[in-house]
């Protein structure tokens, strides 16, 4: 029962008793009855005024309580003419103003933080209290190659891929660099923050691929230039001396001339091979800027496959073509893309066992080209070394092909990947 109801009932009971006593007094003393009746009337008027004041006060308090319950900080209370109550209303209105200001400030900060997270080039993943993914920005979704509905609401161990596996083992405040398939490098940092008194976790993923690539390129450019300068200078002088020495062959005995000539020719040939090796290395750092024009990729691939056909026939390679009916064109350098496809197909043929298959997919709608083979696949250890300068898994390989391929595709701003999945090892290019 509300307090104002109790006051009303008390006033009714008290005045009921007074009325009963006045009826008894009417018989005994009429004058006293009239005086009592007047006092009763005054008391009833005063009680009504008191009840009205109390009722107005309590209605005002109830209105303020409902406003706070509804979290409506825009409504204020009006003064009711009672000094004590008006002071309370003044303090209440100050509190409402402060709450409204704090709420507006909080909304603005929250909106700014959401926009900042979404605009960040680094991937940001925020987890809820149970460890499932609550929020992820567009950069993080792109790194994982998933849409929001397939990413949010799941724990990390429910997400497939190497990056998710690496993040599972990430320790709080212990950042580490993750290298994926030799192509992409990420700096991952895990930290915590307090929300509603409880600890929550978030992960920041910063892509370092471009920075590492630039530093790496600058490093091997200096090494190759220095090696090329020293080797070529020495080879030129040495070959000149060796060719001069061949002129003295006739001064030797007949039985020694053949061995003498053979030894010098082998030395000259080896020097020429070393010079050719340095030229191949120099090609990587001297890749010119692409001269772009429209290139029809299906016909380009057909011509490269025709070029590689004799090598593929030796291994009994089957070609599997999966193409769209629509043509796929790219604004690119024809000769450089041709070199890229030659390198990729050469590696695919070398990786295929006898009677293997090379699959070529062209998707015009997605602007992608995929070249896959049924070779033994790429191990995790090898995948982390792919595209590393001078790294090769083939005998006598120089590690030039993938370096050159990466350089050309980077210069064209094409996205690409190389990875094994199931029976296929796939090199995919997104134009």
Q: Which of 250, 285, 320 is the last residue of a domain?
A: 285
Domain membership flag for residue 111: no
pLDDT digits (tens, 9 = 90+) for 335-362: 889 989 998 998 888 888 878 899 999 9
Q: Are residues 328 and 200 in the same domain?
A: no
CA distances 191 to 157, 186, 204, 410, Å, are 18, 16, 8, 33
Domain membership flag for residue 104: no
Placement of tokens 């950069």 in the chain? 139
Residues in the chain: 431
Q: Are residues 124 and 146 in the same domain?
A: yes
Res 195: pLDDT? 80
Q: Are residues 137 and 183 in the same domain?
A: yes
Q: Are residues 130 and 59 in the same domain?
A: no
Task: Output the domain CATH number for residue 387.
Answer: 3.30.565.10
Look up residue 78 and give its DSSP letter: P
Q: Are residues 252 and 179 in the same domain?
A: no
Domain membership flag for residue 103: no
* pTM summary value: 0.53
pLDDT digits (tens, 9 = 90+) for 16-64: 787 777 777 776 777 777 787 788 788 888 877 777 777 777 767 777 7
pLDDT digits (tens, 9 = 90+) for 247-296: 777 777 777 777 777 877 888 887 777 777 666 666 666 677 888 999 99
Look up residue 390 and give its DSSP letter: T
pLDDT of 391 > 70? The answer is no
Distance CA 332, CA 337 (A): 7
Domain membership flag for residue 113: no
Q: Are residues 279 and 299 in the same domain?
A: no
Domain membership flag for residue 115: no
Pick the closest to residue 390 from 228, 275, 224 (CA basis): 224
Q: Are residues 225 and 258 in the same domain?
A: yes
* Count of Cβ atoms closer than 10 Å to residue 50 Cβ: 13
Pick the closest to residue 390 from 284, 291, 311 (CA basis): 284
Residues 401, 382 contacting (CB under 8 angstroms): no
Domain containing residue 256: 212-285
Res 399: pLDDT? 62
Domain membership flag for residue 90: no
Share of the chain above pLDDT 90, in %: 9
Domain membership flag for residue 199: yes
Give the start-end residues of each E strand in 3-147: 123-127, 133-136
pLDDT digits (tens, 9 = 90+) for 181-201: 656 778 889 998 888 778 889
Q: Are residues 258 and 218 in the same domain?
A: yes
Q: Which of 172, 207, 242 is the last residue of a domain?
A: 207
pLDDT digits (tens, 9 = 90+) for 142-183: 888 888 888 888 898 888 887 888 888 888 888 888 777 656
Q: Which of 186, 207, 228 is the last residue of a domain?
A: 207
Task: Output the domain CATH number for residue 188.
Answer: 3.30.450.20
Distance CA 366, CA 247 (A): 64
pLDDT of 420 > 90? The answer is no
Domain membership flag for residue 224: yes
pLDDT digits (tens, 9 = 90+) for 96-113: 788 888 888 888 887 888
Distance CA 40, CA 42 (A): 5
| Domain total in the chain | 4
pLDDT digits (tens, 9 = 90+) for 193-226: 888 778 889 999 988 766 666 666 666 667 666 7
Beta-bridge partners for 357: 318
pLDDT confidence tier of residue 323, bands split at 50, 70 and 90: confident
Q: Are residues 233 and 341 in the same domain?
A: no
């Amino acid at each position: 029962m509300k307090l104002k109801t109790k006051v009303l009932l008390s006033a009714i009971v008290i005045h009921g008793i007074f009325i009963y006593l006045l009826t008894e007094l009417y018989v005994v003393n009429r004058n006293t009855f009239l005086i009592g009746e007047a006092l009763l009337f005054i008391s009833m008027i005063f009680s009504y005024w008191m009840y009205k004041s109390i009722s107005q006060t309590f209605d005002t308090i109830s209105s303020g309580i409902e406003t706070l319950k509804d979290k409506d900080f825009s409504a204020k209370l009006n003064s009711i003419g009672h000094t004590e109550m008006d002071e309370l209303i003044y303090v209440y209105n100050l509190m409402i103003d402060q709450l409204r200001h704090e709420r507006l400030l909080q909304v603005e900060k929250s909106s700014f933080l959401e926009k900042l997270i979404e605009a960040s080039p680094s991937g940001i993943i925020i987890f809820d209290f149970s460890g499932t993914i609550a929020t992820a920005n567009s950069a993080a979704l792109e790194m994982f190659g998933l849409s929001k509905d397939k990413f949010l609401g799941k724990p990390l161990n429910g997400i497939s891929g190497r990056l998710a596996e690496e993040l599972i083992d990430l320790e709080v405040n212990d950042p580490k660099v993750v290298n994926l398939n030799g192509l992409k490098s990420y700096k991952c940092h895990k930290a915590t923050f307090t929300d509603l008194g409880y600890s929550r976790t978030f992960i920041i993923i910063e892509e370092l691929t471009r920075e590492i690539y630039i530093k790496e390129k600058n490093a091997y450019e200096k090494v190759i230039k220095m090696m090329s300068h020293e080797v070529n200078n020495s080879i030129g002088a040495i070959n000149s001396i060796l060719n001069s020495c061949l002129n003295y062959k006739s001064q030797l005995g007949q039985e020694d001339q053949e061995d003498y000539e053979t030894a010098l020719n082998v030395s000259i040939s080896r020097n020429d091979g070393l010079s050719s090796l340095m030229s191949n290395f120099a090609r990587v750092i001297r890749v010119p800027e692409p001269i772009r024009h429209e290139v029809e990729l299906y016909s380009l691939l057909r011509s490269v496959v025709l070029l590689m056909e004799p090598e593929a026939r030796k291994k009994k390679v089957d070609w599997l073509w999966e193409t769209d009916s629509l043509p796929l064109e790219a604004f690119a350098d024809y000769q450089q893309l041709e070199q890229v496809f030659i390198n990729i197909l050469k590696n695919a043929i070398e990786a295929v066992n006898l009677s293997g298959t090379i699959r070529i997919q062209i998707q015009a709608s997605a602007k992608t080209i995929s070249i896959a083979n049924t070779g033994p696949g790429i191990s995790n250890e090898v995948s982390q070394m792919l595209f590393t300068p001078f790294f090769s898994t083939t005998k006598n390989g120089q590690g030039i092909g993938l370096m050159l391929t990466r350089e050309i595709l980077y210069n064209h701003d094409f996205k690409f990947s190389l990875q094994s999945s199931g029976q296929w090892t796939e090199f995919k290019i997104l134009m």
